[in-house]
Amino acid sequence: MLLFLLRYTYEVSPVFLLVEEAVIKKMIEFIGWEGGDGIFNPGGSVSNMYAMNLARYKFCPEIKEKGLSGLPRLVLFTSEECHYSMKKAASFLGIGTENVYFIKTDGRGKMIPEELEKQGSAPFLVCATAGTTVLGAFDPLDKIADICEKHGLWLHVDASWGGSALISRKHCRLLHGIHRADSVAWNPHKMLLAGIQCCALLVKDNSGLLKKCYSAEAAYLFQQDKFYDVSYDTGDKSIQCSRRPDAFKFWLMWKALGTTGLEERVNRALALARYLVEEIKKREGFQLLLEPEYANVCFWYIPPSLRKMEDGPEFWQKLHQVAPIIKERMMKKGSMMLGYQPHRGKVNFFRQVVISPQVSREDMDFLLDEIELLAKDL
């Protein structure tokens, strides 16, 4: 029987543990750290939780044994465009969602460093986002890192979505400054299309902080008097016991496609997103929400009946109802699935995220043609 599980110690899963180590090392190279540590885990949300707990442990190591009771109120800063997992992590870890301070973002969805600097209460963690979920915005990491450095704060970068741009020589500048982060969440299962789930939390510290924070030193697994180098028993860095060998999928894919193949995936997706943007600009009735930096193409479709209406509350109220109707029609017809949402005062708009290497320009044309067709009577 083939047990496709990664188990805690080198003696039980030698290949998977070594593969995980090799992949983490390679990801760390792309971040630009000289060394570091990391762990594959079940998702970007979990990576963010790992990082939050790790930053808190660094801030007050006694929390591991003493728990929360003796601690003052702890707060963390992140942007108002951050992924919702930051709130979930804060609630799960007993920090409390009210202690997550959301820093203002600019019109493109990027954290405003001056707003971060202005905040009074000293946080134990600043979380920047590289590739926000809705707008695909990249926070200015260098400027945020300057502030964190000045105040001695842990900087976590949630690059779950945008991290894969690091592989592309053309687009890696989006994450300029990421090497100054203390931890990074990066999901190869998003832009790189590794089989879901495939996510890593990467940590700059290589003095064993991750292990110190998470280990429970079970004597029946992690004996210190084994005949081999027990530093290979990396499983105690994880909050899980058995895990899926997620790094293995990524390793295989990387071997098969090479770094150039992965880079092409990113470049192709972003070129296709750009193509869609240019098509949207050409067509009557389509309106971009903003110029995207990444693969999130956000746009409204203004149907014929609304095109001559004056801009005002009534227009936006009516436009708000358009995307759900088109979505219902496309799903009932079975032609497409396209997400929509309202966002920060903006009425419902479509968000096309382009990643699959199987998707072509013709598909992008189809997407716009189909919206026009489905909404021609609206």
The interface region with ligand PLP, picked from 43-51, 104-112, 222-230, 325-333 by CB under 6 A, is: 43-51
**Distance in angstroms (rounded) separating the CA atoms of residues 204 and 28:** 8
Q: Would you count residue 79 as binding ligand PLP (CB under 6 A)? A: no
Closest CA to 28 of 195, 143, 179: 179
Name the closest residue to ligand PLP (Cβ): 44
- Return the residue of 9, 78, 79, 85 that touches ligand PLP, per CB under 6 A: 85
The interface region with ligand PLP, picked from 26-34, 42-50, 53-61, 334-342 by CB under 6 A, is: 42-50
Q: Which is nearer to ligand PLP, 144 or 374 (CB)?
A: 144
- Return the residue of 129, 234, 348, 352 that touches ligand PLP, per CB under 6 A: 129
Q: Which is nearer to ligand PLP, 197 or 267 (CB)?
A: 197
- Round the CA-based radius of gyration of the chain to a whole number and report it: 23
Q: Would you count residue 43 as binding ligand PLP (CB under 6 A)? A: yes
Q: Which is nearer to ligand PLP, 13 or 48 (CB)?
A: 48
Query: What residues between 198 and 237 interact with ligand PLP by CB under 6 A?
Result: 199
Which residue type does 179 have?
H
- Return the residue of 9, 13, 45, 348 that touches ligand PLP, per CB under 6 A: 45
CB of 351 to ligand PLP, least distance (A): 12
Q: Would you count residue 50 as binding ligand PLP (CB under 6 A)? A: no
The interface region with ligand PLP, picked from 21-29, 156-164, 239-247, 360-368 by CB under 6 A, is: 156-164
Q: Which is nearer to ligand PLP, 269 or 368 (CB)?
A: 269
Query: What residues between 181 and 200 interact with ligand PLP by CB under 6 A?
Result: 187, 199
Q: Would you count residue 161 as binding ligand PLP (CB under 6 A)? A: yes
- Return the residue of 37, 139, 158, 246 that touches ligand PLP, per CB under 6 A: 158
Binding site for ligand PLP (CB under 6 A): 43-45, 83, 85, 129, 131-133, 158, 160-161, 187, 199
